[in-house]
Amino acid sequence: MTERFDTRAFLLALAVVAVWGSNFVVIRLGLDALPPLLFAALRFTLAAVPLVFVLPRPAVSWRDLALYGLAIGLGQFGLLFIAIDGLIAPGLASLVVQIQVVFTLGLVLRGGGERLAPVQYAALAMALSGLIVVLMNTGGDTTALGVALVLGAAFSWSLGNMVSRRIGRVPMLAFIVWSSLFAVPPLFALALIFEGPARVAGAVAAAGPWVWAAVLWQSVGNTMFGYGAWGWLLARYPASAVAPMALLVPVFGMGAAAIFLAEPLPGWKLLAAALIIGGLAVNLLGPMLLARWTGVEK
């Protein structure tokens, strides 16, 4: 039985999306000291260790743990860290990566597991038009390669979503911890190949307290607190109340980047944000509102 989404739950959900949004600024600051693949490898190492020795393995197959770990660790965050390392502004990255919703729905439709309402097709077209606005304004701190890498991260996120959809409701924190084990070896291997043993060793040796704080923010704040609290909320409160809060992630991401990194917010970025966030909001809330207005429950 679900509980009423009260002020306490709202503040917890707000804290989660604030952490997830501001995380893009932390990534940018951490990349000043750590190369991207090494940064991602350290993030998932501390996400797995030491909790993997404390939390029991969730009742899912090793295959699903591996697929999720590779999709989220190597695909989503590996590509995202590379992109934010000078190829796209972090605030804009927090917005573009939300296109994962479009990819996820595309995969669901391809698998024949769900049908979209007409309003959802319009909503997705609206979100994609926001992406077109971004692509029309590449240059400066936003490159075409950076956008492409973030779209790759978004697609990898959608693959992770499909694994989550298949396994159903499991202890999310334990699932994240155990799946992180599969992200660590390939990330370290790629770091050694593309960033070089000397650069990797030098970056780790030179890392000061602020660098390790950035890594801990990724693993403890973004992963353990974020996913753990979000899973706790979804298990106790209606998804219709919790899920829309995620639309605030790019708001916090772009806001934090503007405040702490002085990332400019020209008109085209605000237009793209309005189209993408608006499209995702209509996709999420449109069918539910239509059902209420027409008196037909989906």
The CA distance from 278 to 207, in Å, is: 40
C-alpha gyration radius of the chain: 19
pLDDT band at 295 (very low <50, low <70, confident <90, very high): low
Residue 99 exposure: Cα atoms within 13 Å on the Cβ side: 27
The pLDDT value given to residue 150: 97
pLDDT computed for residue 298 by the predictor: 47
> Tell me: the pLDDT tens digits for 100-142?
888 888 887 777 666 777 788 888 899 999 999 999 998 778 8
Q: According to the model, what pLDDT value does residue 289 have?
A: 65
- Residues 6+ away with beta carbon under 8 Å from 276: 95, 96, 98, 99, 127, 130, 131, 250
Residue 297 has pLDDT above 60, yes or no: no
**pLDDT for the residue 34:** 97
Residues in CB range of 256: below 8 A, 6 or more apart? 21, 22, 24, 25, 91
Mean pLDDT of 81-97: 95
> Tell me, what amino acid is at 186?
P
pLDDT tens per residue, range 202-238: 999 999 999 999 999 989 888 888 877 887 787 777 7
Does pLDDT of 259 surpass 70?
yes
Mean pLDDT, the chain, rounded, equals 89
- Give the confidence band of 90 by pLDDT, cuts at 50, 70, 90: very high
pTM of the model: 0.90
